[in-house]
């Protein structure tokens, strides 16, 4: 087995915009380093190092690969064990060949949600993939979408070469946990990855679980990065945290779009509203989780008339904004999120908010059919 450089060599790390050098290796981050000083909430860093959509891409004639990583997962003191570390997906020539559990590494223990964390140090672990097809082939090694993962070492029993250009368009997507897809069965089962495969494009997923808040640093990140297609899924975090009123929400959306358009004036841009979520359809946030594990709205529905945001209000406002802006921006498009997961499918929201793994795959197929088909905004 030969050591393969993870940085500065033949391997391309796609889906990450920054690499944080650690004592052990390198930690991929899905937002640029300069954004860290602007995080109001420390959870932004936590979700930006969850590598949803991050993968190592290369060509090799190796029959065996070894991938050494150090994962970070959490555990409440009341839980019997750490949260699952997620999966590593190995694709060969674009086809999923093997899915393996990521090894357990560092564990962050806490007494309860929001409590101080205590690090229980772990060691790097190695996953070995054997039986790869003979000859030179394209390989993608996808990291677990929900687990911060330091890259420690890659080893192969053959030559490793850079990937060949494939001419695919680059799709940049930003959304909430429903685009981050922590609950998916594996990293290639998130709905943006499913849709990208069907659409024949390369996806960069900048979705931030719990933090799709129209943050200006995200808009500037998208503005400054190469993109052939852009999509935004806006609204659920804003309603669930009662982060805006109607008066401030519209201008914030316009400002976010204006910033992106400064760098991508003619790029197809699809603005998608939230999928169905019964608790917040007519009631504003904030939300809480009940003893049954399902979310409930704490806001007063009568406040909607005075500017509080429900999902119904957000959907109407996003559609209004796109309709108004299309008079001078014909490359801006709107998609009602209920076309991805509608009110007759809320049994597929295990906690009343997040889709199940099968629902994520279905959302990916639907997005591809709507966005990439003839006449769609990304055709």
For residue 213, the 8-state DSSP code is S
207 and 192 Cβ atoms separated by less than 8 Å = yes
Per-residue pLDDT of the chain (379 residues; tens, 9 = 90+): 999 999 999 999 999 999 999 999 999 999 999 999 999 888 999 999 999 999 999 999 999 999 999 999 999 988 999 999 999 999 999 999 999 999 999 999 988 877 788 999 999 999 999 999 999 999 999 999 999 999 999 999 999 999 999 999 999 999 999 999 999 999 999 999 999 999 999 999 999 999 999 999 999 999 999 999 999 999 999 999 999 999 999 999 999 999 999 999 999 999 999 999 999 999 999 999 998 999 999 999 999 999 999 999 999 999 999 999 999 999 999 999 999 999 999 999 999 999 999 999 999 999 999 999 999 999 9
The predicted-structure confidence for 183-228, as pLDDT tens digits, reads as follows: 999 999 999 999 999 999 999 999 999 999 999 999 999 999 999 9
How many Å apart are CA 97 and CA 95, to the nearest integer?
6
Q: Whole-model pTM above 0.85?
A: yes
DSSP per-residue codes, 35-68: GGGG-SSTHHHHHHTS-TT-EEEEEE--S-EEEE
How many Å apart are CA 376 and CA 379, to the nearest integer?
5
How many Å apart are CA 175 and CA 213, to the nearest integer?
9
Q: Which helix (H) or strand (E) holds 258?
A: helix 246-263
How many Å apart are CA 222 and CA 170, to the nearest integer?
12
How many Å apart are CA 17 and CA 217, to the nearest integer?
13
List 14's β-bridge partners, or say none: 55
Query: What's the pLDDT score for residue 111?
Result: 87
Query: Domains in the chain and their CATH numbers?
Result: 2-161 (2.60.120.260), 170-371 (3.40.50.1110)
How many Å apart are CA 155 and CA 5, to the nearest integer?
9
Query: What's the pLDDT score for residue 340?
Result: 98
Query: What's the pLDDT score for residue 116?
Result: 80
Please count the other Cβ atoms lying within 10 Å of the Cβ belonging to residue 316.
13
How many Å apart are CA 105 and CA 92, to the nearest integer?
27
Query: What's the pLDDT score for residue 135?
Result: 98
**Helix, strand, coil tally for the chain in percent (to 5):** 30, 30, 45
Q: Give the rounded distance of the alpha carbon of 58 from its chain centre.
A: 22
Query: What's the pLDDT score for residue 215?
Result: 98
Query: What's the pLDDT score for residue 312?
Result: 98
52 and 155 Cβ atoms separated by less than 8 Å = no
- From 296, 354, 302, 308, select the one nearest 145 (Cα to Cα): 354
310 and 301 Cβ atoms separated by less than 8 Å = yes
**C-alpha distances in Å from residue 196, one per residue of 214, 215, 367:** 23, 25, 9
């Amino acid at each position: 087995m030969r050591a393969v450089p993870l940085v500065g060599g033949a391997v391309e790390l796609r889906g990450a915009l920054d690499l944080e050098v650690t004592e052990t290796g390198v930690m991929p981050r899905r937002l640029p380093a300069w954004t860290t000083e602007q995080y109001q909430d420390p959870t932004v860093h936590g979700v930006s190092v969850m590598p949803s959509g991050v993968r190592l891409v290369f060509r090799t004639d190796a029959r065996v690969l070894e991938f050494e990583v150090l994962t970070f997962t959490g555990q409440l003191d009341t839980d019997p064990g750490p949260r699952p570390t997620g999966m590593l997906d190995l694709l060969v020539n674009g086809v999923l060949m093997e899915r393996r559990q990521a090894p357990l590494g560092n564990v962050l223990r806490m007494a309860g949600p929001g409590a101080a964390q205590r690090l229980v140090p772990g060691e790097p672990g190695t996953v070995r993939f054997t039986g790869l097809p003979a000859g030179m082939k394209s390989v993608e090694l996808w990291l677990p979408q929900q687990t911060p993962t330091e890259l420690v070492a890659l080893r192969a029993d053959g030559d490793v070469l850079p990937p060949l250009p494939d001419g695919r368009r680059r799709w940049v997507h930003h959304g909430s946990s429903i685009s981050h897809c922590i609950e998916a069965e594996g990293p290639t089962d998130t709905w943006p990855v499913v849709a990208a495969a069907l659409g024949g494009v390369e996806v960069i997923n900048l979705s931030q679980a719990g933090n799709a808040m129209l943050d200006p640093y995200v808009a500037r990140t998208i503005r400054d990065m190469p993109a052939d297609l852009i999509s935004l899924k806006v609204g659920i975090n804003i309603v669930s945290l009662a982060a805006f009123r109607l008066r401030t929400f519209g201008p914030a959306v316009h400002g976010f779009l204006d910033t992106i358009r400064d760098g991508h004036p003619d790029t197809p841009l699809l603005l998608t509203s939230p999928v169905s979520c019964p608790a917040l359809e007519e009631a504003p946030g904030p939300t809480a989780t009940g003893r049954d594990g399902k979310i409930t709205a704490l806001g007063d529905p009568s406040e909607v008339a005075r500017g509080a945001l429900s999902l119904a209000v957000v959907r109407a406002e996003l559609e209004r904004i796109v309709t108004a802006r299309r008079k001078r921006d014909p490359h801006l498009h709107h998609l009602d999120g209920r076309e991805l997961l509608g009110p007759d499918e809320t049994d597929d929201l295990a906690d009343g908010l997040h889709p199940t793994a099968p629902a994520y795959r279905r959302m990916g197929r639907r997005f591809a059919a709507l966005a990439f088909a003839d006449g769609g905004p990304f055709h």
